[in-house]
Amino acid sequence: MSDRALGRVFGLHVAVIAVLFAAQFVLPPYDHTNVARILVLSVYALGYNVLLGYTGLMSLGHAMFFAAGMYGAGLPVYYLGFGAPGALAMGILCGIVVAGLFGLMALRTSGVAFLIVSLMFAQAFYLASLYFNEITLGDQGLILSGKLAALEFGGTQVGFHEPALKYNGALLLFAVCLLGTLVLRLSPVGRVLIAIRENEERTRLLGYDSFRYKLLSLVVSGALAAAAGATYALLFSYVGSTFASILFSIYPLLWSLLGGIGTILGPLLGTAFMFYLVDLASGWTSAYLFVVGVALLVLVLWFPRGILGTVRARWLPWLP
Amino acid sequence: MSFGPHLFLALLEGTVTAFVLAVTALGLSLVFGVMRIVNVAHGEFFMLGAVLASLCAGLVGSPLGGFLFALVAAPLAVGAIALAADWLVLRRLDYHPEGTIVATIGLLYILQQAVLTFYGPDARPVTAPVYFRIEFPWFGYSGYKIVVAAISALLLAATWWLLTRTRLGLYMRAAQQDLEMAQAFGVPARRVYAIVFALGAMLAAAAGVLVVPIQQAHYLMGLDPLLLSFIVVIIGGLGSVKGTLVAAFVVGWSDGIVSVFFSPTLAKIVATLLVAAVLVVRPSGLFGEERA
């Protein structure tokens, strides 16, 4: 890729981050919190998209990684009095360990079998979070507010209840993960991953150990999901087993499909679009599962490329 | 009660679970074997069967009449829904493996929401159509559960007969072995696919009708049978009927034993880890033939 093209790609993504930063000064309070939530959840979708969009592995068990990050961060805060940075690190570490162990077993299978195995493992994880309810309190969950020490910036204390901290914390995580994913996509490793998506047999023939690359992709994907889970726990001070349920594994699939599989900005668009669609729909019906179901059907039947995938195919072929 | 009778109770419960599970999983296995697609909405067909049975029990006065009516009407209604789903969605996707998974997930949520909206969030009990107890020296056991096992065995035998002794079964086996060759010999593939999808759904619905007097009908009840069917189909090998039966008993008995001696949640975790073990040793399942 030429320097000019590279500049254009990075310019676009930095501009998106800048717009999101500026948006916090004009958004009404209600949308302010919503956008903070959307940013954290898009990191989850970004991670999902690394595996599905750039490696071609579809998983139905990503809630396991999200919840590993959430519990990995939340339990030390609740029981051991960890601060936010340590808890975040613990959460991401848990995600990496869970994804690595899962990958070593599940990547022996591929295609549909991989899908089912990921679903099964995630369900075992969910059941375990219910089974150990003396620690996790299961569905009821743990409330972290009051347990988490405020952060200090140059002498001023900023508590986790401050909307500004929620927004900028979410944005910082999103910016790091977005640019990180972009760098990975453009790096030689990213190209091998895409080669595996397109034709695994041929990639192996060229001398690449596809198992190791797939494992790497799964671990990166799991780490991003866990980072999102850990940040969600810290910023919105709640840890509960609902976030490990199957519906929560389906969401990132839906968001990635909607935004465009294999596009860097697609997960953000998909998450935001779906979030506000459900929000809007809840105004006239409580049947939000219906919205989720119909959206999945419509996307897969008539709109398989998603929003950005269509934009790329029609107008902007350089979009990563 | 000492260890022996406990174990006997566990095996008895496990056998009943295994028969119902075998019927449900056979539906999933047939659909996967012949059509090569994974139907994530399979558990919702089970749930629809149970919900329709509870509605039938409300319509028809006597429990036995309601049960017999439901045993015929519910699978037919669910089969019609499955035919519509095949015609409107799956066929348009050309039975693409991953596309159909996403589509059936969508179907799952649409069906769940429809039942929640029109049937309500409550779990509703249904009186058993027949009531008698079998007295063992240590405990009495519900006779209806034995009836459930017997009807399940009949359904399994009927499916086996359909597969091995009829022209439709021949078509199904031909499509499973080599679709292009089967089509070259005049097997109407589209029609066979539609019938198989409906048949799989009907088996799940019949299992739902059978368990509703034991379990209660609820809009979220489809998830457990779906996951257990996945476990059975993976252990038994995707698309293998004999394997499905054996695996249903492995899962049913281990579920019964762990549930009686420890806890049902632990039983499900154990079953899931059993799958992991199987996959690490043999990625294609215990009975599955190697597939390119």
Sequence ranges of the domains in chain B: 16-221
Q: Which residue of A has its CA nearest to B91?
A: A301
* Cβ contact B280–A128 (<8 Å): no
- Please report the pLDDT score of residue B154 as a whole number: 93
Alpha helices by DSSP H, listed for A56-110, are: 63-75, 84-106
Show which residues on chain B lie within 8 Å of chain A, measured between beta carbons: 38, 89, 92-93, 97-99, 101-103, 105-114, 116-117, 223, 227, 230-231, 234, 238, 263, 265-266, 268-269, 272-273, 275-276, 279-280, 283
Kindly provide the b/e burial profile for residues B36-75, where b requires at least 16 CB atoms within 10 angstroms of the residue's own CB. bbbbbbbbbbbbbbbbbbbbbbeebeebeebbebbbebbb
Query: Is ipTM beyond 0.95?
Result: no
Q: How many CB pairs under 8 A join A and B?
A: 114
CB contact at 8 A, B284 and B291: yes
CA distance, residue B89 to nearest chain A CA (Å) = 7
* CA–CA min distance B17, chain A (Å): 19
- Whether residues B227 and A289 touch (CB distance < 8 A) is answered with no
Residue B290: per-residue pLDDT:
45
CB B196 within 8 A of CB B172: yes
Please state, in angstroms and rounded to a whole number, the distance separating the CA atoms of residues A301 and A292: 14
Instruction: Give the helix ranges, DSSP H, for chain A.
Output: 3-23, 29-55, 63-75, 84-106, 111-131, 133-136, 163-186, 188-198, 200-205, 210-236, 246-259, 266-281, 288-302, 306-314
Nearest CB to B230; choose among A106, A116, A301: A116
* Ramachandran angles phi, psi of A238, nearest 5°: -145, 135
pTM: predicted TM-score of the whole model, two decimal places:
0.87
For residue B200, give the 3-state DSSP assignment. Answer: helix
Compute the distance between CA of residue B138 and CA of residue B2 in angstroms, rounded to an integer: 9
Choice among B74-83, B206-215, B226-235 with the minimum mean pLDDT = B226-235
CB contacts, 8 Å: A290 with chain B:
109-110, 113-114, 117
**What percent of chain B stands above pLDDT 70?**
95
Pairing, β B133-135 against β A142-143: unpaired
- pLDDT exceeds cutoff 80 at B118: yes
In degrees rounded to 5, what are phi and psi of residue B57?
-60, -35
Q: What's the pLDDT tens digit per position in B15-73?
A: 998 999 999 999 999 998 888 888 999 999 999 999 999 998 888 878 888 888 989 99
> Is A124 in contact with B227 (Cβ distance < 8 A)?
no
Q: Give the pLDDT score at B288.
A: 52
Instruction: Decide if A116 and B117 are in contact by the 8 Å CB cutoff.
Output: no
Burial class of residue B165 (count of CB atoms within 10 Å of its CB; 0-12, 13-18, 19+)? exposed
Q: Using pLDDT thresholds of 50, 70 and 90, give the confidence band for residue B245.
A: confident
Contacts of A128 in chain B (CB under 8 A): 269
Average pLDDT over residues B70-96: 92
pLDDT at B291: 43
Contact B204, B49 (CB under 8 A): yes
pLDDT at A1: 65
Pick from A112, A253, A300: CB nearest B38: A112
CA A22, CA B252: separation in Å to the nearest integer?
Answer: 58
Please report residues of A whose CB lies closer than 8 A to that of B93. Answer: 300-301
Burial class (CB in 10 A: 0-12, 13-18, 19+), A184: middle
Closest residue of chain B to A57, computed from CA coordinates:
B98
Chain B contacts in chain A segment 121-150 (CB below 8 A): 121, 123-124, 127-128, 130-131
The residue in chain B having the minimum alpha-carbon distance to the alpha carbon of residue A102 is: B276
A131's CB contacts (< 8 A; 6+ apart) are B263, B265, B266, B269
Write the CA distances from A130 to A47, A90, A126, B176, B229, integer angstroms.
25, 21, 7, 40, 22
Q: Give residue B59's pLDDT.
A: 84
Q: Spell out the per-residue pLDDT of chain A, length 320, in tens.
A: 678 888 888 888 888 888 888 888 888 888 888 899 999 999 999 999 999 988 888 898 999 999 999 999 988 888 887 888 889 999 999 999 999 999 998 888 777 778 888 888 898 889 888 888 878 787 777 887 777 777 777 667 777 778 888 888 899 999 999 999 999 998 999 899 988 898 888 989 998 988 999 999 999 999 999 999 999 998 888 888 888 888 899 899 989 988 888 888 889 988 998 888 888 887 777 777 888 888 888 888 888 888 888 888 888 888 77
Query: Which of B93, B110, B272 is facing A124, going by the closest CB pair?
Result: B272
